[in-house]
Structure 1
Amino acid sequence: MNASDYGLAGRGADLFTTLTGTFDFDAHEIPTVVELCLTATLLERLESAMASEDLIVMGSQRQPTANPILGELARHRGMYVRLYSALNLPELDEAGKHIDLSNPRSVRAQKAAQARWGKVSNG
């Protein structure tokens, strides 16, 4: 099972390699893993496109409006979270190692990683 077998690239290919190298998935879970990784690839492309765009653009009635890419980013980020949750995976650190949430040091490391990657946690 290779990322290239599913047309994955960039972040999605990296995620696929990490997930399939860390976990043993049943055959029925593979489509969800692939969709998760395709979503990660698409998010990477949307983020790249948005980097060179304005946040506010002219709407059809010449009114200022949010760039439509922002809505697509939000929609696909939500899909990513739902797909990841559907796999019921344990928390991983940035190296793909399991985080033991019962260990306070691990919890602190997880919060530091989330802050570093721009994920907000109120816990």
Structure 2
Amino acid sequence: MKIRIKGNSLRYRLTRPEVERFASDGYLEDTTDFGATRLTYSLQRITGGNLSACFENNNITIYMPHLMLQEWSTTERVGFENTDQGLYLLIEKDFMCLDLPAAEQADNYPNPLMMSK
């Protein structure tokens, strides 16, 4: 899972196996170590509501409603977005980069631009 933070926006990108694992388990996390401090970023399935986020105890959690996750994991839908308390959130499937070898990106979703060629 990749995380991108820029200003008041937060984006997670997930590979195909990560989307499958999240759909199955309802939870996914990764960490980054900063010496003595660890940043955890996670994605958690919730029953209802909207895409939302919180930051507590060095953990960024984005909450995704079950119905949203179900659609996302079983269709061609690329992602979902929402603004939560002024924070723009985007969850999306991670596509293959056009300028990297495909073998290095086997877990990523096929890039739609590659298919149109």
TM-score by structure 1 length?
A: 0.26
Task: Answer 1 or 2: which has greater helix percent.
Answer: 1
Q: Which has the larger radius of gyration?
A: 1
TM-score by structure 2 length?
A: 0.27
